[in-house]
Structure 1
Amino acid sequence: LPAIHYSSNHDYARVVSIPTLANPGGLDRFPCIEAVFGPHAHITSSTVDIQDVKGKTHRFVIFYQQGGSLEVNQAIQNLVPGSQWRGSIIVMMTGKNIPFIGLMSTHRHLATGALQKYVL
């Protein structure tokens, strides 16, 4: 599924494809964040709701690594000046009836807003 990756190794965000396990009916989806962060990464997640200009709420899940031994994330600093966030972040979108859906380009600004809301 498409998601946004704010890597601590890059100065900018990029869209990545997250390998995702799904049951045969497709209603349960389990993104394999470890495929991007690595198999030994300690991954935490938080949910952030944000409203669009029409007042409709959209939900995003922020998967992240954080810790003093990780590199300062320049991509996050470029998004939120003064931020000292350490480690990488992946932002995925959730659906109404499906836990995770592909992040469409039309929702990217909302995903960015959700991340700014979370980091601040």
Structure 2
Amino acid sequence: MGARILVIEDNQVNMDLMSYLLTAFGHTVLPAADGVAGVAVARSERPDLILCDLQLPRLDGHGVLAALRGDPATSAIPILAASAAAIDDGGAALRAEGFTGVLPKTLEPEALLPALEAFLPAALRSAASN
């Protein structure tokens, strides 16, 4: 049984590749192309995990985090910040802000999937990562 993962990403190539990889490993992808849509999908679908780009149209990743952490219905969902920008402090500032973790925007399955699935309960991880 895979997880339901909300991917909030405005770059269609990145979205397509992440969707392909996650689906191939048994997860269901809930896509959103901007922060406003991402918040709406999170509230209606209550995913197991959220992977959120930081630089998004309409509402950036920090705004998504604030909206979801401020809502009791979504406050406990793990939210991972995804960024192509260099993160000098190892993600400490983003975790202090309230993100559950930080993932570099690598689209290499050997790096992306184990890092992402580390934030899921064991029962929702793909067989390849157990």
Q: TM-score per shorter chain, which class?
A: under 0.3
More strand by share: 1
Instruction: Output the TM-score relative to the length of structure 1.
Output: 0.24
More helix by share: 2
Instruction: Output the TM-score relative to the length of structure 2.
Output: 0.23
Higher-Rg member (1/2): 1
